[in-house]
Structure 1
Amino acid sequence: MKITCSIRLLPLKAESKDQIYGLVDEAIGVIANSGLKYLVGPSETTVEGEFSQLLKLIEEIYKKITPLCDRYVLEVAFDCAKSGVNIDEKIAKYR
């Protein structure tokens, strides 16, 4: 069953806006390379997949960002439904 996961990276010890955006770009790169469907938003990125795929993705982001940033917050929210959840369904009326 597919669900969606919203991911938000908040670097706490970045020295500049460019460094913050660079770290966020690194995380988005991990997401893009995952092969999962995703949608980048201004404050978070939403990814669609199976729960186990999404957990693996979160771990990959953690492994990528941890050596690059002294401290950060990685916010993760899952939207789960027995019938499944997908990005297109959630945003259809806004497109």
Structure 2
Amino acid sequence: MANANIGLQVIPSVSEEYVYGVVDQVIQLIQDSGVKYEVGPLETTMEGDLDELMDIVKEAQKVCIQSGAGSVISMVKIQYRPEGVSMDEKVEKHR
């Protein structure tokens, strides 16, 4: 399957002082997965096989709960084209 892009924002249900710690655990999960990714101020964007990326999204929910969240809301954006899509094609002219 061609590369897709997924933007993932997690909003864990924890006290405000613990939010970044839980989000950091999700970012570590993404980093450890080996997929190309970029952390932004409101979401992390990943690039790779759609099935692999969706598995990371599912696992991110578990990481939030295991990190102490009572629940988690996730915002997911997906861009997929049969010929593939890259993060670079969206932002390279702005860098």
Q: Which is worse superposed, 81-90 or 33-42?
A: 81-90
State the aligned residue count: 93
Deviation sequence 1:12-65 (CA, Å, 0-9, x none): x3212x301111101101000000000000000000011111111112212211
Unaligned runs of 5+ residues in structure 2 are: none
Identity, % of aligned pairs?
Answer: 32
Task: Report the counterpart of residue 62 of structure 1 in structure 2.
Answer: 61
Corresponding residue SS for 2:83: coil
1:82 is displaced (CA, Å) by: 2.1
User: Aligned residue for 1:5?
Assistant: 6
Q: Which residue of 1 aligns with 2:92?
A: 92
Q: TM-score normalised to the size of structure 1? A: 0.91
| Whole-angstrom distance in 1 between the partners of 2:55 and 2:77 | 15
- TM-score under structure 2 normalisation? 0.91
Could you say what the CA RMSD is over the residues aligned between the two structures, in angstroms?
1.1
Match in the other structure for 1:41: 40
The answer to whether structure 1 residue 75 and structure 2 residue 75 are counterparts is yes
User: Where in structure 1 do 4 or more consecutive aligned residues deviate above 4 Å?
Assistant: none
**77-86 or 39-48, which moves further after superposition?**
77-86
